[in-house]
Structure 1
Amino acid sequence: MAPGVNAYLFAHYYGVAKRANAAVVIASTALSILPIPFWLHLLP
Structure 2
Amino acid sequence: MSLREEYMKKKGEKFNIKEFNENLLSHGSPPVKYLREILLEEK
Q: Normalised by the size of structure 1, how large is the TM-score?
A: 0.31
Q: Normalised by the size of structure 2, how large is the TM-score?
A: 0.32
Structure (1 or 2) with the larger CA radius of gyration: 1
